[in-house]
Each structure stands twice: as C-alpha cells, then as structure tokens.
Amino acid sequence: MKSEGARDPPARADPRPGRPWKEILAIARTVYTELCFQAIYALKLGNLPGEERSGNPAQKARRRVAQSKLMVSLLMFLLIASALFTMAHGESFIGLTLPVPLYDDIILSGTLLLGLSLLWMIGLQLVPTLSNSRVFPWLSTLPLSRRDLKRVSGILLVWLFDLPAAVLLVFLPVGVGLLQHSWVAGLWTLPATAMTLVFALALSFRTGRFFLERVSGSPSGGSSVLLRWTYLLFWTIPSLAVSLFVSFSVPLLRAIEVWSRTHAQLFELLLLTFPFAPAGAPFGPFLSGSGIPAPWTALLGLAGVIYGLLAVGSGLWLWRTTLDLGPDPPATRRGPRVASVRLKRTSPVRAILTKDLRIASRNPGYAFLILLPLLDALVIGLSTYVENPVQASVVKYALAAVTVAALLATFFGPAFFATEVLGYSLTRTLPLTRRQMLLGKSSLVLLIYGISCVLVMSLVATRLADPFPFAGFAASELPAVIAAALLQVGILLHQTSRTGLPVANLYSGAWWTTLVVVPGLLVAGLPLLLFTLEQSYDGALALPFMAASSTLLLVSIGTWAFWGRARAP
C-alpha cells in the first residue's frame, strides 16, 4: 500500500530521437491519400469505387481533391483580382470621396475578410472529414512520438489548405506592392495576410469541433432540433459573408463612407478591429494625412501588434490540438436515462422526408444544401431594401430570388439521395415502393423551393404594388421544379438499382454531375428561359408560356418516373 504523500515515480521519457523528415513526409503522404479517398468515395459509409472504373482509385481521389482545391483557389484569385482592380480604379468609378489611404485600407480589409470567410468555409467542410476519418486516433496507436505525430498533422494541415492559402499569401502582397509601387508596402501586407490565414484555420477547427459536439452528437427532442438548426445557421455565416461581400460590396463601401462622416469616432473604433488595424500597416505612414488623428495611427499599430500575438497564440493552439481531433469514445457519450419511448408514425413518404431533415440537422454539409437556397432568397429579398430600387427593380429582384431558389434547389436536391449511403441497403429491405421513394426525395426539393418563395414573398410583399404577377411566376415554376426533382431522383434510383451501390458525394464525379444534375437544371431552367425570351419579345404571354411548359414537363417526366423505366426495380 502506498503511504500518504508518496508520489508516483515520473513516467519514463521516450529516449528515441524523432523520425527523419523523409519518414514523416512518407507517413503524411499515406494519410493524406486516405483522407482524399474517404472524402471522395465515402468508403466508411459503404460507397466503394465501382469495379468498372479504370485506374487507381486512390490516385483518382487525390486528383479530384486537387481539382477541387484548384477551383477554390481560382475563385480566391478572381476575388483578390477584383479587389485589387477596385483598389486601383474603383474609387472614382464608384464615386467615393474617402481619403485614398483609408479607401485602400478598407478594400484590403474587405479582401482579407473575404479570404478569411472562404478559408473558413473550406475548413468547415474539412473538419468533419478529418474527424470522421479517424486518422489521428489511428496514427496515435503507431510507435510514433507525440512530436512526430504533431509534425504529421502539421504537414496534413498545410497540404489540405496549400493552394488557396498560397494564392492569398502570395498574390495579395504582390498585388498591393505593384499597385502602391512599393515592395515595402507589399511586404507590409504579408503579416496581415498571414494572420488572416491562421485565424481562418483556428476558426475552422474551433467551430468545426463545436459543431461536431453540439450538432452531430445532439440527442433527439424538440428543443435539440431547434438548437441544432440555430447552430447550423451560424455554420452558413462564412458562405453568407462571401455572398454578401460579392453582391453588396458597392453599397457597403458607400455605407462605410457615410458612416465615416456621421459617426467619425465609431468609425475610428472600427479601424481598430481585425483586419482593419493590421491591414492599415502598408498605408500607415499615409493615414495621418487622411483625417485620422495621429495618436490613432499609433493605436492602430499597437492593435496590429496585439492581433499578431493573438495569431501566434492561435497558431500554437492549432499545433497543440489538431492531433486530438477525433470522435469521443462512445463510453463518454451516454445520455440521460429515458423514461419512456413514444414513436410517432407518419406516412412512408413523410417518413423519408423527416429522416432526411433529421440527417441534415446533424450534418452541416447537408444542412448547408438546404440553408443556402433559403439564405440566398433572403439576401436577394433583403437587397430590395438595401438598394432602395424602384418598383420595376423590386419585381426583378423577387423574380431573380425565385429563379435562384429553383435552380439551387434542383442543383442540391439530388445530394439528398447521397444521404442514404450505407443505410440505403437496409432501406431497400423495407417494404417501401419506388413511388414512395420518388415522392419522399422530391418533396425535400419542393420544400426548399416553397420556403424560399414564401420568404421572398413575405419580404417584398409590402414593396410590390401588385404581388400577383410574382405569385404567378413562383407558381408557374413549381411544376418544373417538381419535374426536375422527379427526373433526378428517377435517374438515381435507376442507376443505383442497376449498379447495386449507394451514391455518395454526388458532385465528386463529372459523370454523375452530368447525368443527374445537368438534366435537372435544364428542366427547371427551360420555363424560366421561355419566360425571359417572351418578355424581351412581347411580355404578354410570358407567364402563360412558362406555366404551360412547366406543366407539360411535369406531366411527361411524371409519367416516365412513375410508370416508365424508373419504376423498374
């Protein structure tokens, strides 16, 4: 028996030296390939690469991840290029009277916020994949020291964000340097850009872990559902921010200009926040000539230093905690003892819809697909207030919102077939008819479209002199949206029963996208196209044309889906 006060002997330190970088890189390469493979094929969910596909599936997965990173980097490049163009020529074009250094600081800050949102958005998609892959818990069972494991996780982190991060880190400072005709100014941009990158990664991991705990692991029950959807709304903040920046950069700039005059002191406080303070560094020497008091310029420098220290802290936090990313052991996840279990029976079609909504409410990736069309409708609806447009423009905005909702619902709808994955094998053994499956899956698309329309309608109702044309437009598009959903789900049902494999990550393969998404978009888009063409010609028959074509599409595709080839088991 141990005497009181006796201490355990200290644990023996591992005397082995760290592994050489060559070995660490080789381990990281293997883990990265595994991550790509899981991200593309959702292997753990039962979506195996098909036998008929040629080539090495692991290499193919890496290639597809690289392609997707390239697309995001291209978007980042375009956004930065647009921001730099606005910095160079925009002020006179937009008609602002802000002092040049201030204007440049605001544009650079906006660009950094855009970069932060975009990287945060990528991070939020990556964190669940990283966690679910269980690569870190698996790695920790290997005879590798904690330091070596951290090196592996650090390399993985770099590889996961490499291209978009490089675009931000290189292109932005070089661009600013060229515009200011000063390499020093360009170099001064580098700390703010690096801070943005570190904050984006830290935010991704912090919020990603929060969502995994509070959303994916959330129990059943009414209040939990509400809480989950509230959290999921926060999940869309980065993408919403990107959308807002892109759509409303000019009105935002004008609002800032007005604000700088009417609320000068508050405006100076705004300049102390991130990323305004560190972004002002390249223009700091000039800020004193921009109406900003000299002590504030010093304060801006001090704030920049504080943000720098915070970024170092965030970087260290990332280095310490990335490795711990993984699901908690099941033993720690026991819930409270339930007194009784009341199950609610619904129709099979509603059961499918409820199941998909419940899955989406615990999976930010899928919830995003529901929330994005709704938020987009909300943003376009709200823009009728921001821009203060005339009557005709309000109608145009409302029609645009409905058009976007119809196309987005159709674009994202098929992904809810992918929610089935391995569970679908069990569902196929339940007495569920193909018709019920078609209706269940299509009803979600209909729900997204319906809520979007109601949202826009309620926002613009008071601003429309005659709301009936708008209501007619939304109603005329409805059959086409249902037709598109039936077509897409019909193709998916047919293909999966033929190949025997559930579909996951629908958008990872060009073939699936072309086969499923494009036909749906064409069906949903055709009545909209007819409406636009007829409006530019005469306009009187635009709505009847649209309604007739939409109904015709529903009748023909509905017949195919319910009684045609798609019905075959």
Partner 1 sequence: MPSEDSPLLLDGLTVRYGSVVAVEDLSLEVRSGEIYGLLGSNGAGKSSTIKSVVGLVKPTGGRVRVFGWDPQTDSLPVKERVGYVPETQMLYDALTPREFLEFVASVRRLDMTAVHRRVREFLEAFQMWEEVDRPISTLSNGTRQKTLLIAALIHRPSLLVLDEPFNNLDPRSVRIMKDLLTSYVRSGERAALFSTHTMEVAQQLCHRIGILDHGRLVGEGTLADLQSRIRNDRASLEDVFLKVTSEEEEVARAVRALEEE
Sites of contact with partner 1 (CB under 8 A): 45-46, 51, 216-221, 327-328, 330-331, 333-338, 340-348, 350-352, 354-355, 358-359, 362-363, 419, 422-423, 425-433, 500, 569
Distances in whole angstroms, Cα of residue 175 to Cα of each of 81, 166, 503, 534, 539: 8, 14, 43, 45, 47
* Residue 339 C-beta: closest distance to partner 1, Å: 8
* Residue 511 C-beta: closest distance to partner 1, Å: 20
- Residue ranges with strand state E in 417-567: none
Residue 154 phi/psi, 5° resolution?
Answer: -65, -45
- Answer for the pair 281, 305: CB distance below 8 angstroms, yes or no: no
Residue with smaller CB distance to partner 1, 145 or 427:
427
Q: Give the residue carrying structure tokens 């690569």.
A: 135
Residue with smaller CB distance to partner 1, 125 or 243:
125
DSSP state of 68: H
> Which residue type sits at 476?
S
Q: How many residues in the chain?
A: 569
Residue with smaller CB distance to partner 1, 296 or 562:
562
> Which residue type sits at 362?
R
Residue with smaller CB distance to partner 1, 29 or 214:
214
Distance CA 105, CA 111 (A): 10
Residue with smaller CB distance to partner 1, 424 or 449:
424
| C-beta pairs of 556-559 under 8 Å, 24+ apart in sequence | 556/483, 557/483, 557/484, 557/486, 557/487, 557/490, 557/523, 558/482, 558/483, 558/486
Which residues have CB under 8 Å from 186's CB, separation 6+? 173, 174, 175, 176, 177, 178, 180, 282
* Residue 351 C-beta: closest distance to partner 1, Å: 4
Residue 164 phi/psi, 5° resolution?
Answer: -60, -40
Distance CA 187, CA 369 (A): 39
- The CB density around residue 220, as the number of other CB atoms within 10 Å, is 10
- Answer for the pair 311, 275: CB distance below 8 angstroms, yes or no: no
Residue with smaller CB distance to partner 1, 308 or 423:
423
Residue with smaller CB distance to partner 1, 131 or 508:
131
* Residue 419 C-beta: closest distance to partner 1, Å: 8
Residue with smaller CB distance to partner 1, 6 or 426:
426
Residue with smaller CB distance to partner 1, 13 or 426:
426
Distance CA 307, CA 501 (A): 50
